Structure 1
Amino acid sequence: MTRLIALIILVIPGIVSAYGVKLMRDAIFSELSNPFSSIWIQFLFGFLIFLAGVFFIGGFIYRRDKKRKKVTKRLGRKRCTDYN
């Protein structure tokens, strides 16, 4: 059951990112979608929701790997414990 929930959590941002790519593609080929009044606003909105979806998926995977101790030391936060 938890794997199904995790899959759903990853599929929804994937669909949002795919819709962002579609909006950017339509803006490049001058196809204006209904709620937008300008091509560049459509492209910008598509780019923003594409980035939001990618960052969500990346953060989800990073957090899961960090919880399972699979993240290398160079990606972790540096802590200064030596006060000389």
Structure 2
Amino acid sequence: MRHLMAWAVLIAVFLFAGWGLNLFREAMERWLAFGHAADLVWMLAGLAAAFAGTAFLGGFVYYRDKKRNKLTREGWRGRPVQRRKRPEQG
């Protein structure tokens, strides 16, 4: 049951982000066609909804991978990054 609820939340957030992108697209078309200032507000609201949904999904994946120790520090072209040693205090 717990996995079903997690999937439901992820699907709802995915649909919310898609709705935000669709709202942004439709508001931009209306603004270009008619030039009403209210369409700019709807366009920004759609962009914010799309960003919020995408950020939530990205944070979920990052947190899950961090919890399972699947994250590695990589530098330029996938080379491992050397960790700096902390100076000795004393």
For normalisation by structure 2, the TM-score amounts to 0.72
Q: Extract structure 1 runs of 4+ deviating beyond 6 A.
A: none
Which structure has the greater CA radius of gyration?
2
Aligned residues: 76
What 5-or-longer segments of structure 1 have no aligned partner? 32-36
Deviation, 1:26, is 0.8
Q: TM-score, normalised by structure 1?
A: 0.77
The equivalent residue for 1:82 is 86
Identity of aligned residues (%): 33
Which ranges in structure 2 are unaligned for 5 or more consecutive residues? Answer: 32-36, 76-82
| Higher RCO (Cα < 8 Å, 6 or more apart) | 1
Q: Please tell me the residue identity of whatever aligns with 1:62.
A: Y
Cα RMSD for the two superposed structures? 2.3
